[in-house]
Structure 1
């Protein structure tokens, strides 16, 4: 093993991404001291993470031509607003279902008494499993691609367009992620911090940032890995996991080519591209 590449990966480290993740324990401590509620923790953490990544995209972009234009920022802000409302409505439904499930359940779930050291990584891994298979299916089944296609519309990747997701796509991911958490009885705290980690990872893997996560690419999702998913070539467009590469590694869809990147990202070659970006599934 080349130990110099372990400590100094090709292209240097992606410090904005790493520092965002390293700040999470401090953020958890501060939010606890301030007595913040879960909704505020998620909202502020997500927006602060997005602002941090977008700042560094201006300072050290991987590709200057991938910078978001004013029109693209307005489009992405609109998508963020719509999806925030959809996510909030889905959250209310899930909260109601969770209360009903807890009242009807005769005994606590298997994960309820796990320590945070075990509960958090397990919640993240299980929270990625359902969305992984749905994501993979969306690249193969036309009726699912109809909704997922919006996310592949841009011919560039940046933190801004990471939120360009069809509301139906958002809903199936949310329910697939939360269902195993509720069924297994994860604590509210474990679900909160797993959800925030997954959300921040979703922003970071799309960010137009220079550098690499080096050997950490085998453990957590990164921009270096996720760019292959957005390749226009279907044979390269794998890496369906976002927060973790675990399920891609186990199910044979992991693509890792250190120091390389796809020639083009955007709409899959061979898929019929409409004249306008699909938004309500009309593609």
Structure 2
């Protein structure tokens, strides 16, 4: 995989797989404590069985790289392109499949030989109603209340909307994300949620010139080699194109009507005041 086409943590204009430009922005989602050194990545409907990536124990920043798209698309605000655990501020020079704990791989949903035909590339499988969750693997069973099968209804959805409702509040930055303390934590352990599509997201790692890990990244298949290889990019839609053309047509007609009114008003003035 080419680091030049890997856009996690990058800003500015970059082309999407269909050639249209997008404005990439990096959002800070706060920090994540990983005292166990085991990063859990899971969909929110199955927090009890995450894919686990080993890292050095510590507290790390979580970044979200989003791609702002124009009105040609059904979603005209921003698409979340990468979720990154930043392990180092060193410049990444390579990108490769992340190492995951073998017994946590979702073998039943992954193609043989690796996602997109890349050996050793594993991912997180997302269902239709789920979000991507990041947490410390050992904090989840310790700091979530009740049995795992109750977590979705009691904490994530909840009678009052739970964490999902907070993802849509104006204070969320950006909307569609939330960082919250695990309910029973006494040491500030948190969980980060990011809204996601129903896809299988590859898990990647970047390294610096010395071969040290700089980050673990969930590729949300909006841009880059894997999005193109898997044909996962949701590009321009006929409906969105039609809506845009209708809006442009209405704008042109409104301008022509205004110009006609101005010409009529000007002619009336010339008739009143004797102008030519």
Output the TM-score relative to the length of structure 2.
0.29
Would you tell me which structure has more helix in proportion to its own residues?
A: 1
Structure of higher RCO (CA pairs closer than 8 Å, 6+ residues apart):
1
Output the TM-score relative to the length of structure 1.
0.28
Larger radius of gyration: 2
Would you tell me which structure has more strand in proportion to its own residues?
A: 2
